[in-house]
Amino acid sequence: MNKICKKLQDSLAAEGIVSLQQDETARRHVEECEECFLFLEATRELASAFENLPKLDAPDEVVDRLLARPELKQPSAVFERRARLWRYGKILFLSGATAAMVLLSIPTLMKSNRAVLQVRE
């Protein structure tokens, strides 16, 4: 499976067949790639099977017990870790950009200092 197939199949799994309606390149790929065509057909069959299932309402007691679970109220550890990495990533990026600007301005400052020294002499 190449990168295009992986991306297309991930998109189909996440968004369903709707993802093909918006992407002409993906539609062409499905026409040419047997593996992706078979994946699309399996996705269609699965979607059809889910649509044909009877609609059921969960009992109120089950819904209340699920909503009362503390792990559903708090962000997951993975989410917390990603948020922390995102914050640190922004800080590192800004620190790096600041350091780069300082380093890039040093030659300009050196030239202007030389010019001032030459004028004074």
Per-residue pLDDT of the chain (121 residues; tens, 9 = 90+): 788 888 888 888 888 778 788 888 888 888 899 998 898 888 888 888 888 888 888 889 988 888 887 766 666 677 777 777 777 777 878 888 888 888 888 877 777 666 555 655 5
Domain residue ranges in the chain: 1-54, 78-121
Query: Which pLDDT score, from 0 to 100, does residue 91 have?
Result: 81
CA distance 40 to 32: 12
User: Which long-range contacts (C-beta less than 8 Å, at least 24 apart) are formed by 94-100?
Assistant: none
The answer to whether the pTM exceeds 0.75 is: no
Distances in whole angstroms, Cα of residue 63 to Cα of each of 54, 57, 59, 66, 70: 19, 10, 7, 5, 14
Query: Which pLDDT score, from 0 to 100, does residue 118 have?
Result: 62
Query: Which pLDDT score, from 0 to 100, does residue 80 have?
Result: 75
Query: Which pLDDT score, from 0 to 100, does residue 85 have?
Result: 79
Q: Are 33 and 1 in contact (CB under 8 A)?
A: no
DSSP 20: H
